[in-house]
Amino acid sequence: MNAVLILPARNEAECIEEVIAEARQHFSGEIIVVDNGSSDDTAERAAAVGARVVREPVPGYGRACMAGVRAAPNADAYVFMDADGSDCPEDIPELLAALEDGAGLALGVRTGTRVAPGSIAPAARFGNWLSGTLIGMGTGRKLRDLSPLKALTRETLNTIALSEMTYGWTVELLAVAASKEVTIKEVETGYRHRMGGRSKVSGTVPGSIRAGYRILFVLGRAGTRQMGKGTAGGAAAATVLALTAIAAYTTWLFAQRLLSRDVLVSSWLLAWPTMLAGALLGTMIGSVFSRGRKGRDSPAYVTAGAVSAFQ
Ligand SMILES: Nc1nc2c(ncn2[C@@H]2O[C@H](COP(=O)(O)OP(=O)(O)OP(=O)(O)O)[C@@H](O)[C@H]2O)c(=O)[nH]1
Ligand SMILES: [Mg+2]
């Protein structure tokens, strides 16, 4: 199988050479570094150690991945790995073996003892769990990780038209692949702290919020496309009501001077389930009213759609 390794890279000059050198020990095919509008010398360093460099000046993780694909239109398979040294290239052969065995998509799942403690930020863990659960509810296939290290065949890529160009790319890939009945194989992989450079996403609060928003937005959009607008409207309206109730309750507590730290924490903990329950109820009511208009209603997708509306 003629596979290429695509490394989307934005300002990864500190680690790119080491990442490429390490990848070479485990992968013999072509390595493509997509320089995604870096302001440092990521591209020069990558080229100096023999990688093929493709430039995609407009930032966006998905856009960078797709630029890599376009640069290798004749490859049979594409492996995507982060360029910050977090992924372990020794896992690549197993992903490719899964494709050889007939899988259309092989996903690295970051569990087990080779995952460095603290290398996956709590917000990222929560996002992985939530996305996996929503995809599972929507498609009946539970996926365990939004894998940064993954491999897929060209055929899979052709089957699933991906429109997301930023951090929602991976979740769109997983959601569409799961719904299109692509054969998916999950492979346990390691994960480490980035080798150098600055954390841009999961290690920062704004980055996590942006990525989380994007991921929910993509899931919501995918869901809204699959179901009637009336159902989505019902879910969104119920979510607004639930949020308003939480806000009113908290304001009332504040007015009564009952607002201790513990009360705040417990209201916050209650807010999520209340919101989700509200959205689910709205989904049911909405789908009753929009009955007759055909659509594959999925409470999970609607919930995601409703939640994303408030981000
Ligand atoms: N943040 C970001 N990363 C990009 C972009 N384009 C390509 N990348 C690369 O995508 C990969 C994943 O991004 P990371 O910034 O490592 O994301 P992360 O692992 O969630 O978060 P940190 O490692 O904590 O920053 C890295 O190799 C980036 O260099 C982009 O527009 N933004
Ligand atoms: Mg990273």
For 121-149, how does the pLDDT look when each residue is reduced to its tens digit (9 = 90+)?
Answer: 888 898 899 889 888 888 889 899 999 99
Distance 10 CA to ligand 1 centre (A): 7
Distance 60 CA to ligand 2 centre (A): 14
Distance CA 272, CA 49 (A): 48
Arithmetic mean of pLDDT, 216-225: 74
Give the angle 155-157-160 at the CA atoms, nearest 5°: 110
Nearest ligand to the CA of 204 is 1
- Residues with CB under 6 Å of ligand 1 are 8-10, 12, 36, 59-61, 64, 82-84, 86, 194, 199-203
Distance CA 81, CA 34 (A): 11
pLDDT confidence of residue 217: 78
Atom of ligand 1 nearest to the CA of 7: 27
Distance 199 CA to ligand 2 centre (A): 7
Distance CA 77, CA 99 (A): 8
pLDDT confidence of residue 102: 97
Question: What percentage of the chain reaches a pLDDT higher than 90?
Answer: 52
CATH class as words, domain 3-219 = alpha beta
Count CA atoms within 13 Å of residue 12 on its CB side.
25
Residue 74 CB coordination number (10 Å): 7
Long-range contacts of 45-48 (CB under 8 A, 24+ apart): 45/13, 45/16, 45/17, 46/7, 46/9, 46/16, 46/17, 46/20, 48/17
Nearest ligand to the CA of 215 is 1
pLDDT band at 310 (very low <50, low <70, confident <90, very high): very low
pLDDT confidence of residue 294: 43
The helix/strand/coil state of 297 is coil
Instruction: Name the residue with the closest Cα to ligand 1, atom 12.
Output: 82
pLDDT confidence of residue 189: 97
Residues with Cβ within 8 Å of 126's Cβ and at least 6 positions away in sequence, in order, are none
Give the domain ranges of the chain: 3-219, 228-308
Residue 306 in this model has a pLDDT that exceeds 70: no
How far is residue 232 CA from its own chain's centroid? 22
Nearest ligand to the CA of 66 is 1
Atom of ligand 1 nearest to the CA of 56: 6
Instruction: Name the residue with the closest Cα to ligand 1, atom 29.
Output: 9
**DSSP codes, 31-80:** EEEEE-S-SSSHHHHHHHTT-EEEE--S--HHHHHHHHHHH-TT-SEEEE
Distance 12 CA to ligand 1 centre (A): 9
Distance CA 81, CA 95 (A): 12
Residues with Cβ within 8 Å of 107's Cβ and at least 6 positions away in sequence, in order, are 95, 143, 145, 147, 150, 174, 184, 185, 186, 187
Question: What percentage of the chain reaches a pLDDT higher than 70?
Answer: 86
Residues with Cβ within 8 Å of 257's Cβ and at least 6 positions away in sequence, in order, are none
Distance 39 CA to ligand 2 centre (A): 18
pLDDT confidence of residue 213: 75
pLDDT confidence of residue 35: 98
Distance 24 CA to ligand 1 centre (A): 21
Tokens at 205, concatenated: 């609060």
Give yes or no for a contact between 271 and 246, defined as CB atoms under 8 angstroms apart.
Answer: yes
Which of 52-56, 215-219, 302-306 shows the lowest mean pLDDT across its residues? 302-306
Q: What is the per-residue pLDDT across 248-281, written as a single tens digit (0 to 9) for each?
A: 877 777 777 766 777 767 776 777 777 777 777 7
**DSSP H helix total and E strand total for the chain:** 11, 7
